[in-house]
Structure 1
Amino acid sequence: MSVILITGGTGGLGRAVIERFLEKGHTVVATVGPGHAIDPRPNLEGYTLDLLDEAGCQRLVADTVASKGGIDAAVLLVGGFAMGSIADTDFAAVEEQFRLNFQTAYQVVRPVFEQMLRQENGGRIVLIGSRPAVMPAAGQHMVAYALSKSLLFSLSDILNAAGKDHNVVSTVVAPSTIDTPLNRKEMPDADFSKWVNPAELAEIIEFVTVGAGRILREPVLKAYHKA
């Protein structure tokens, strides 16, 4: 079975992804923010970490490799969201979304990618993009969020170019709105039937990391459901 590193283990999508991998018998190391915790379970290890701490992210990868022997897949789920048009969005707002959506991913990807280059079987990386990052008509209402998420697509392209000869593949999964309790609370008047089920996203992520989708190269998967 595979060793899966997941960031954002206590989020709405994180819980579904953890459950999916555990059901399939894989070993999961999941990060949680300070003040949070994951209940101990067989094959599941929680790791408390502020992902804005670059040295801490490097320790996360080193500790995981030391205890588990390697990292077969990394699924980077931590992020944040903010509404706002160009007129409403100052640069401080852009910087905040950059930290939440790009910096938290990049600081884990960097040591994970270097580790996967050294592994005989390479590895798989999943980044969570977003529909507004590739659809300007949607992004115009959430500028800082869309800009920060768009960087993940460029990062994935760079990882795929650098990892091509080492069997290291990065996938971007770009959902529309994910049906989580937090999103329902924030948007109570929305049509939830059009949103993306976290369990179905978890299936997609499992497919491209340890399932038959491992043969895909440079994939961008647009999981929009009915949006």
Structure 2
Amino acid sequence: MSSSPAIIVTGAAGNLGAAVVRELAKGSTPLVLMERSAEKLEALVASLPSGLEVLPIAGTDMTSQEACEAAVAEAVERFGAVGGLANTVGGFAMAPVAKALSQWDAMLTGNARTALAISAAVLPAMQAARQGRIVHVAALAGQKASAGMAAYAASKAALLRLTEAIAEEYRKDGITANCVLPGVIDTPQNRAAMPKADTSSWVAPEAIARLIAFLLSPEGGVVTGGAIPATGVPAVST
């Protein structure tokens, strides 16, 4: 059993999730890696330092609080306590308002329900440990929607309100809750989808991962209920 509480990372093998895992792996905190794909999870774990304590959990239904509770229970059994959650699970889709209803349930489920399910599952363990750090990945669109983003933006706005509610309800338990708000993340998929875009202000997953790692750290306890933009600035030529 580890001497320090574990951190759970959901969507652990995604572009941002893997960057968060690699950033956290620079320390000695035990990691619980939740990922839908067992194959991708296995490859990620194989790439991590050999001495790191890691519990891989594949295939959890992130829309089910009961399934999330089972994963948290497995983490507590292995490491004794859970002190952090980095939730990077989510989806993206665009459609005009007239067609947004076709995406509504999928976006609310994939971005907001999953966040609520894993939060509700992990909070009792954090209460038991008398400490906790929760970081959700929302999006800048959660503060202001752009054209074609009605369903997506609404789902990310719900995530902001969820984060604020957690922060207020669990402050007395030493638990913080924050979300980060990326704009466009510099991933191979986004570059392929937008080949003519100006990428100078796109933010690398590794940079966002460093922000998330800070919010998960003891020093990050100074911030709770925050919605922190992670949108970068254009590169300045010299």
- Shift, 1:160, TM fit: 1.0
Specify which of 137, 149, 152 is matched with residue 128 of structure 1: 137
Q: Give 1:56-95 correspondences, 5 Å limit.
A: 56-90=67-101, 92-95=102-105
Pair 1:33 & 2:40 matched: no
Specify which of 52, 74, 98 is matched with residue 108 of structure 2: 98
Pairwise CA RMSD = 1.6
2:201 alignment partner in structure 1: 194
- Letter aligned with residue 140 of structure 2: R
Q: TM-score, normalised by structure 1?
A: 0.92
2:25 alignment partner in structure 1: 22
> Aligned partners of 1:152, 1:128: CA distance in 2, in Å?
8
Q: Give 5+ residue unaligned stretches, structure 1.
A: none
- Letter aligned with residue 148 of structure 1: S
- Residues 190-227 of structure 1, C-alpha deviation per residue, up to 9 Å, x if partnerless? 22222111111111011111152222232221111137
Q: Give 1:35-54 correspondences, 5 Å limit.
A: 35-36=38-39, 37-39=41-43, 40=45, 41=48, 42-48=52-58, 49-54=60-65
SS at match of 1:207: helix
- Letter aligned with residue 124 of structure 1: R
- Residues 159-198 of structure 1, C-alpha deviation per residue, up to 9 Å, x if partnerless? 0111011111100101101111222222222222221111
2:167 alignment partner in structure 1: 160
- Residues 49-68 of structure 1, C-alpha deviation per residue, up to 9 Å, x if partnerless? 23123321110011101111
Asked whether the equivalents of residues 68 and 117 of structure 2 are also in contact (C-alpha less than 8 Å), the reply is yes
SS at match of 2:99: coil
How many residue pairs are counted as aligned between the two chains? 223
Identity of aligned residues (%): 27
- Letter aligned with residue 75 of structure 1: A
> Aligned partners of 1:176, 1:74: CA distance in 2, in Å?
21
Specify which of 111, 122, 125 is matched with residue 115 of structure 1: 125
Q: TM-score, normalised by structure 2?
A: 0.88
1:178 alignment partner in structure 2: 185
- Shift, 1:93, TM fit: 0.9
> Aligned partners of 1:55, 1:34: CA distance in 2, in Å?
19
> Aligned partners of 2:176, 2:64: CA distance in 1, in Å?
25
SS at match of 2:7: strand
SS at match of 1:193: coil
> Aligned partners of 1:203, 1:179: CA distance in 2, in Å?
15
Specify which of 216, 220, 225 is matched with residue 209 of structure 1: 216
> Aligned partners of 1:53, 1:110: CA distance in 2, in Å?
10
- Shift, 1:27, TM fit: 1.4
Asked whether the equivalents of residues 32 and 38 of structure 1 are also in contact (C-alpha less than 8 Å), the reply is no
